[in-house]
Structure 1
Amino acid sequence: MLRNAPKFFEVAKRIVEITEDCIVVAHNSQFDYRILRTEFRRLGFEFKRKTLCTVDLAKELIPGQDSYSLGKLTRALGIPVSDRHRAAGDAMATVKLFKMLLDKDLNKTIVQDSIKSEPKYKMAPNLKTIVEELPALTGIYYMHDSYGNIIYIGKSKNIRSRVNQHFTNTNNKSKKIQLQVAAVTYETTGSELVALLKESEEIKRNKPIHNRALRRTLFTHALYSFVDENGYINLKIDKADGRKKAITTFANRQSSKSFMFKAVDDYQLCQKLTGLYNTKTSCFKYDIKECFGACVNEEDPELYNERVYKLIEKNSYENQHMAIIDRGREVDERSVLLIENGVFKGLGFFNLNYQITNIEVLENLITPMENNRDTQHIIQNYIRKNKNLKILQLKK
């Protein structure tokens, strides 16, 4: 079909003629109109038409449908369609749908309101001004309504770029934000870890209306340990359970599995005793001489457990007194997180000329924050992914 089809420049004039003084109606008109304008722009012509979207109209006039795709909508409404997914077939299906929608629009108000002189994706002038005043830096941002209430909190390595995405996206949440936002304030953090922790804490405290998804727990799976009847420490990935003590947590099962496979190699652990190889005899690595035989009781449990303890110590800060040092907001500044007896106490910033030596000094610098399962997950996950992070062991 495409091989013998005319080039766009060959039909461009005809498109201009047949759409003159007309409203372009399409199912998801934003997409079609953008394609048309892009192609005309390549020819040096500014193509502008009013548009009307049958997806938006259908959502207003026929609410509660399972899907608003053209195929499913026409089937649900009993509209006969032939030659689907071809230009003529889809166009005729859209015409029939549009006629039905016109019949349902008794007041004609929705049709009039839905006519757009400019496409939806164009950003409003006030939103452009907001974006231009934001920094392209790591930090946390707060979206406010006209009353000053916080309606959304987010974090990003590039605040300006992320807010711009909110203002140009066309999903339902972004559309609501675009309508309600009056101002955006921000706080640079330098460190992504600090931004993650502040985002988690402040969403829980402020409960912004558009942050519902992030109010839930950030992780689904966790790493647990138990000692079997032969004295070996076994490791097990399972669904996160707040009643059980976890070594570390993971955002999903896939990341937990990847971690476990790497840990087996790094610490020379047994696949069977880490839940990666379900067998009643020896594990696969034993068969290829890469396991010392804990799976068949050949290795001394004490020697095996020593390596397991190293993994646990590396991935859990339980009972530890330490400071995690990361980037600051300025070149001569660093951020610091304080962990006291395995409990996250808070975070702050210090100048490089200021010596961090003990917990008493740090307690004067930090802003106290809540220690909960989400903060533990954020910190442990960040430590796992950032191998060059500076961790300072402290003396009480």
Structure 2
Amino acid sequence: MYAILDIETTGGKYNEEGITEIAIYKFDGHQVVDKFISLVNPEREIQPFVVNLTGINSNMLKSAPKFYEVAKRIVEITEDCIIVAHNSQFDYRILRTEFKRLGFVFKRKTLCTVELSKQLIPDQASYSLGKLTRALGIPVSDRHRANGDAMATVKLFKMLLSKDLDKNIIKDNVKLDITKRINNTHKAIIDGLPAVTGVYYIHDENGEIIYIGKSKNIKHRINQHLTNTSSKSKKLQLHARSVTYETTGSELVALLKESEEIKRNKPIYNRALRRTVFTHALYSFKDSNGYINLRIDKTTVDEKHITTFSNMQSAKSFMFRVVEQFSLCQKLTGLYPTKTNCFNYTIKSCNGACISEETPEDYNKRVEELIAKNSYDNKNMVIIDQGREIDEKSVIYIENGVFRGLGFYDLNHQINNIKVLESIITPMENNRDTQHIIQSYLRRNKRVKTMQLNTK
């Protein structure tokens, strides 16, 4: 659990500042579960430059509660939480100073979104909250007021959680959480999970991730893990102490994150991620008559393929579909071995490429259309899919045929600006696994939107 906060102060000498406004959002890693927002009477003068910056003046604070009147609420809402702030060193120091004046020792773990942003979103022109959120397309209202800045920090922190592929942030949080409820039962774990699409992480008593998986229904999948009687499930049940998760909205995003994060974290109970989750591929070649032939064969490292398949049956089903869809020849696609015409020519479904009745130019146009539709080789494009919330979409970025990464964007924000797109994207490795995941997903989900990009 996190307490994401922002504090406005009077300014002045070090450790003599007073709080003029405070906003705290209690955040469970997915949504805000509690909040506290209040002006505070600092019982001291506000520096003129601060008045100009925040708009908060002494007249506004005359009837505001003094710090000792809100202290109990601050203690309650931040209890058992990690404090998160943009430049947390400042906000945490101010809070501790105010509590020290009351004779109370205020101690919490802290996280700084400035430092996290430098690690997870490198090479930004500025890491000030205003400039950073603008560069990332995060909407901010009421800048330099506690509520506006705290809510902007919530949105920034949510993006940072998504970008943290090594899961260092959640592992630290889980350690704190497990010490509070070391005897938690499997039923309590399941009860606390949602029935949503995403990636889940099973942790041991030290907070370490021992298994990563993805599901369209996380609650149902974890229930299976913790109730199944297979040897793998029994091992997980023995060591599982907590489950965290990341909602993705999109199954494609979940598949890509699962693949990347298993490789990075190497959880003990994940079988080594297979280098080839696909056994067969679609290849093309030109015959002596100039016709582009297609063939399904076992995947090889040396030969360049068009797309890949999990098994031979999946590949054959695909070929039968596209032969019909693009009016292709069964003989030239390897589905009907013959020295004469194919069966489809007999029933007038083939235009006669098998016996050179149709010209190679006419036939090859349709084959090239099929290849272009099922390969993103050399393309600059984004795949737009469901987001985690109604007003959000997920985006998978492909540059010159190379998968660059994924992210989420607000529907009110345009992503055709390459610089903004690159800022919101979490960089990921491009490999044969990701190519297979993306291509097979696009084959199965015809309604997914793709958009070509102009990178000039």
| TM-score by shorter chain over 0.5 | yes
2: CA distance between counterparts of 1:173 and 1:327? 32
2: CA distance between counterparts of 1:207 and 1:129? 26
Q: Which residue of 2 aligns with 1:209?
A: 268
Deviation at 1:216, TM superposition (A): 4.1
Q: After TM superposition, list the pairs within 5 Å mapping 1:187-266 onto structure 2.
A: 187-212=246-271, 214-266=273-325
Pair 1:363-2:422 in alignment: yes
Structure 2 residue identity aligned to 1:249: T
**In terms of Rg, which structure is larger?**
1
Query: Sequence identity, in percent?
Result: 69
The DSSP-based 3-state class of the residue aligned with 1:215 is coil
Structure 1 residue identity aligned to 2:361: E
Deviation at 1:288, TM superposition (A): 1.4
2: CA distance between counterparts of 1:382 and 1:362? 22
Structure 1 residue identity aligned to 2:384: I
**What 5-or-longer segments of structure 1 have no aligned partner?**
1-123
Deviation at 1:364, TM superposition (A): 1.3
Q: Which residue of 2 aligns with 1:347?
A: 406
2: CA distance between counterparts of 1:185 and 1:208? 14
Pair 1:374-2:398 in alignment: no
Structure 2 residue identity aligned to 1:374: D
2: CA distance between counterparts of 1:358 and 1:393? 12
Contact residue 275 and residue 433 of structure 2 kept, 8 A: no
Q: Which residue of 1 aligns with 2:374?
A: 315
1:147-194 Cα distance to aligned partner (Å, 9 max, x none)? 222111000011111000001110110011000111111111111100
Q: Give the 4+ runs in structure 1 shifted more than 3 A.
A: 213-216
Contact residue 308 and residue 440 of structure 2 kept, 8 A: yes
1:182-212 Cα distance to aligned partner (Å, 9 max, x none)? 1111111111100000001111111112211
Q: Which residue of 2 aligns with 1:331?
A: 390
Deviation at 1:247, TM superposition (A): 0.3
2:244 to 182, 185, 188: 185
Pair 1:268-2:327 in alignment: yes
**What 5-or-longer segments of structure 2 have no aligned partner?**
1-182
The alignment's TM-score, normalised by the length of structure 2, stands at 0.59
Q: Which residue of 1 aligns with 2:445?
A: 386
Q: Which residue of 1 aligns with 2:205?
A: 146
Structure 2 residue identity aligned to 1:360: K
Contact residue 282 and residue 296 of structure 2 kept, 8 A: yes
Contact residue 338 and residue 347 of structure 1 kept, 8 A: yes
With over 3 angstroms needed to count, the CA separation of the structure-2 counterparts of 1:358 and 1:301, relative to structure 1, is farther
2: CA distance between counterparts of 1:309 and 1:358? 30
Structure 1 residue identity aligned to 2:355: V
Contact residue 345 and residue 351 of structure 2 kept, 8 A: yes
Structure 2 residue identity aligned to 1:258: S
Contact residue 266 and residue 272 of structure 2 kept, 8 A: no
Structure 2 residue identity aligned to 1:339: I
2: CA distance between counterparts of 1:286 and 1:358? 49
1: CA distance between counterparts of 2:345 and 2:389? 51
2: CA distance between counterparts of 1:311 and 1:359? 28
Deviation at 1:215, TM superposition (A): 3.4
Deviation at 1:213, TM superposition (A): 5.8
2: CA distance between counterparts of 1:358 and 1:260? 37
Contact residue 202 and residue 211 of structure 2 kept, 8 A: yes
Q: Which residue of 2 aligns with 1:113?
A: none
The DSSP-based 3-state class of the residue aligned with 1:273 is coil
Contact residue 203 and residue 215 of structure 1 kept, 8 A: no
1:232-253 Cα distance to aligned partner (Å, 9 max, x none)? 0000000111211110000111
2: CA distance between counterparts of 1:136 and 1:292? 50
2: CA distance between counterparts of 1:148 and 1:238? 44
Deviation at 1:361, TM superposition (A): 2.6
2: CA distance between counterparts of 1:262 and 1:370? 31
The DSSP-based 3-state class of the residue aligned with 2:385 is strand
Structure 1 residue identity aligned to 2:401: G
1: CA distance between counterparts of 2:291 and 2:259? 37
Contact residue 392 and residue 409 of structure 2 kept, 8 A: yes
1:97-125 Cα distance to aligned partner (Å, 9 max, x none)? xxxxxxxxxxxxxxxxxxxxxxxxxxx97
2:352 to 281, 284, 293: 293
2:225 to 166, 176, 187: 166
| Equivalent pairs, count | 273
Structure 1 residue identity aligned to 2:367: V
Contact residue 397 and residue 403 of structure 2 kept, 8 A: yes
2: CA distance between counterparts of 1:249 and 1:215? 15
